[in-house]
Structure 1
Amino acid sequence: MMSTTSTRAPQTQARTTQQRPPAQRPGASLARAQSDAAVRGTFHLPEQVEDALRKAQERCHLVAPATTASALPAGCSVAISPVFVDVATETYGIPGSGDDGGGKRGLGKSVLDRIFAAVGGSWDPQQTRRIDDGSDPYFVHYQAVGHVRNFDGSVRVVKGEKIVDVREGSPAIQDLVSVSLAKLRKFAEHKNKSESELRRVARERAENQVRGIRLHILGHAESKAKNRAIRSLGIRTSYTVEELQKPFAAARPMFTGHSDDPELRRMFAQRIADTFLGTTTALYGAPAALPPGSPPPPVGMARRDALDDGFDEDAIDTHVVDDAPSRATSRAPQDERADETDDAGEPAGSSMILPFGRAKGTTIGTADDEDLEWVANALARMVEDPQKSRFRDDNQRLLDAIDRELARRRGEEEPPEDAPPSDDDYPT
């Protein structure tokens, strides 16, 4: 047991130090409390609104229909809500932007959803939908249309679209093969392989990624289309860690019925009651029928679009789903493939697909060390979570494969299979 513990501990320690984004600076909690006190509240008078918006602009990242509001419609107020960002769990690194504190971070989907809700945004159920005809399961053109109210009471439309084309022969698949081939050429163990052999291995790895994308293709398209629509409110695609110490201040107009006129207050109260009781549908009837979708264009003729923005997270469950397609890449139980290798000379399990995180849809063998550390840390928590016991075996199998790959890259030897388990292998 002692030998197993000493072998496992360095992996856990290395994972912790490499995986986590830069820690927040000292005093961040105090800065949060001060910003929170300065920008939270509902403001009725125009001069109060102007002052609150000015403070929000100075101390926060303001997300609002406008940066000033010299007048408000009768019965309306402006509510400002702070949205805090947990850098460690709700953001991800932007490739090529640098490491540590100087690196750029992208906002995760959960943060964007909270900001959209805080500004009073809502999705149009008639127009937020798949706009192709659905005749090809590997082609999705998704449109997200939302509504945000301006300070003068008018409605602002925000829109985002996303095309995911993973049909055989599409440019997206060709790009995946090119990326896999470029990564293979960087590995020393592949330098002696022929070009045809490298292309064959790259094709196999790209097919594994495409399989994962096809499994949740509609979720990919919907999530990315909505994220693009939300960012059209003026949210940048990346921020530094220092910038994310400040919260986002979301401002939206609210119909509160506030007025000094008793007659107006009575009328406003009646209108608010009508809204809550759902009289709109009774008066105006059901919405119009949806227009028919369009068929997908020929392969290679779809509008070129990045397969993955790299600036959002997908709305897919963050655990290994218990279905046959997701387990197809793990060809044998862990104890039967611990010492096996695949056709490319990689340890068995390196072709398993990462089901979540920034590198979602890529294989263990092609993912970067930082991405593997992040996924491994998350899987370790899931294995110990009793609420996810249903997925424990799958999560453990994937975690072990990642540990083997990281150990191989560090040049470390794996513990013998017959070594007894350590206390660190089980939740306390």
Structure 2
Amino acid sequence: MPRSHAVALSAALVAGLLVGLSPSVAGPAHSPSIGQVFDQRAPALRIRTVARRLQHPWDVQQAPGGRLVVSERDRARISVVRNGKRRTLADLSKQVWVSGETGLMSLAVDPGSRTLWACHGSSAGGNHVQVTRWRVDEKWRTLSKRRTVISGLPSSSGRHGGCRLLLDRDSDALVIGTGDAAIGTNPRDLDSLGGKVLRVHRRTGKPMADNPYADASTDRRFVWTYGHRNVQGLAQRADGSLWSVEHGSYRDDEVNLLVRGSDYGWNPVPGYNEQVPMTDQSLPGTQQEAAWSSGTPTIATSGATWVRGSQWGSLEGTLAVAVLKASEMVFLRFDDSGSLVSATQPPALARFGRLRSVTSARNGDLLVTTDNGDDDRVLRISPR
């Protein structure tokens, strides 16, 4: 039996959930676009702009000493922001291939070892996407000891470059979510790195020993899950579980609970047929249903993080998901089994345009990048 965590939710049902009702709902099915709903028990939000005049900032991560590290996709620039001031840590414009949705994308930062990872386009040996690792000096002013962790993530025009990074708290794994490069055969081809979630050792780049195909001699040794379209977000829950967020076609953006070795059902062949379901249950084998789906139309979900800290009140323990097309943030609550319980969209976060990334600061604040292409910002969000 396929795992069925997708839940059918009408706007009225969502509103009922938010005021504490507990209606019974059945899956699998898709939830429609939620619309403007707000949990009246949620705290008021304090929203501060900590950096301006950015261009397509793809990611923001916290570094030591109150520093924030920010990537800009098209400029291929990594910046450090501190006390409201930005300075360039690295100009990678001569190293990064930029085309369409591909450029300098996700970052991961290990403050303890002053190590920084970046996922970016590369034209070395033909256009592709790769993950690179650097050491950072004590004052966070220079990068050195560059090393390629993994390369050959497929690319075509730059569409569906994907590439979100996450440092696993419970192991030495670097988790990598990838796009399918808009090539229909990639997602279910285990020897393609496109349309996958991968796990590699964060220092050596070798496959993690507990990957489902770790003993293979081909690229499938890096694969954790497959059958994805364009992974935009990765987040690790307090229980250690891994979750992904991905763009749908014209329907069904998805939040997925990642199960080792599982197929998430995107198979747009022949050609690149976007009329097929995001999770196609007619395929051989078992396909994992989404934990949440936008229904029709898509809202273009992107980065995500789990909300931590009692100061967040009723939003503590929700998954905060940045949204591009609908220009908002959605807070989704799932129960211990991964079934959707409620959703809320604070109106205060619907006035900044497209939201690309959301990550957690160490004190529980949310760090958010806008992606409007003109005077983009990094926002810091905390409950009042």
TM above 0.5, yes or no, is no
Greater CA radius of gyration, 1 or 2?
A: 1
Name the TM-score, length of structure 1 as normaliser: 0.21
Bigger share in strand: 2
